[in-house]
A and B are shown apart, each in its own frame.
Chain A
Amino acid sequence: EAGVTQFPSHSVIEKGQTVTLRCDPISGHDNLYWYRRVMGKEIKFLLHFVKESKQDESGMPNNRFLAERTGGTYSTLKVQPAELEDSGVYFCASSQVTGGTEAFFGQGTRLTVV
């Protein structure tokens, strides 16, 4: 069975451009999470989907970030326009149930804004 997959693995964009990250969770996992890790800091929660619904988006830094999960399958995270401080590794994770259980991570997308 395929694990959580993320595309692209790396992205280098200029300040002001738009980038869209994609996450394909493990099949059958209703819960999908986006996290971000800035160099040397914690893996910080961004938002949580249950199927296609946003359950919690309290971690989204600002309205330049837009996440969608149409049809409750894969998810996209768009950053528009990108700023320098958006650089970091964006992780996606999925789980069968919410909380109290293992979350399966993707390999992450390393975003560099120059």
Chain B
Amino acid sequence: GENVEQHPSTLSVQEGDSAVIKCTYSDSASNYFPWYKQELGKRPQLIIDIRSNVGEKKDQRIAVTLNKTAKHFSLHITETQPEDSAVYFCAASRGSYIPTFGRGTSLIVHP
């Protein structure tokens, strides 16, 4: 089955800095890679996703890159703000298979 590794487990940055979270996956057939954000006490919510036919996708201050050859994908947040503080989960899936999630990264943005 699929195995997703996520790093780092904790990331602390100053407001305005960039943050990068990296994930690797094991199943070369995986073709859908969503990222979820879980704020304290709230439900995980999809913030961005990428499919295997695309190398990069941006949405305002958030971007995701995918390297299919190396089987890794990353979440980039620029100009971080305190409200970006949350736990971020990456996931990978293929076709109709259930997404496999990483262990999460706790991002702390200091004002």
Q: Does A44 contact B (CB under 8 A)?
A: yes
Q: Does A74 contact B (CB under 8 A)?
A: no
The distance in angstroms between the C-alpha atoms of A35 and B103, with both chains bound, is 13
A contacts with B, residue count (CB < 8 A): 25
CB–CB A41/B103 < 8 A = yes
The distance in angstroms between the C-alpha atoms of A32 and B89, with both chains bound, is 19
Which residues does chain A contribute within 8 Å of B101, judged by CB atoms?
35, 42-45
Q: Give min CB distance, B40 to chain A, whole Å.
A: 11
Interface of A is mostly: loop
30 CB-based A-B contacts, threshold 8 Å: A3-B43, A33-B98, A35-B101, A37-B104, A40-B104, A41-B104, A42-B6, A42-B103, A43-B91, A43-B104, A44-B101, A45-B98, A45-B99, A97-B96, A98-B96, A98-B97, A98-B98, A99-B32, A99-B97, A99-B99, A100-B31, A100-B51, A100-B93, A101-B32, A103-B34, A103-B99, A105-B36, A105-B45, A107-B41, A108-B43
Q: Which 5 A-B pairs have the closest CB atoms?
A: A43-B101, A42-B103, A99-B96, A98-B96, A107-B43
Which residues does chain B contribute within 8 Å of A98, judged by CB atoms?
96-98
Contact of A56 among B94, B98, B104 (CB under 8 A): B98
Contact of B98 among A97, A99, A102 (CB under 8 A): A99
Q: Give min CB distance, A102 to chain B, whole Å.
A: 5
Which residues does chain B contribute within 8 Å of A42, judged by CB atoms?
4, 6, 89, 101-104
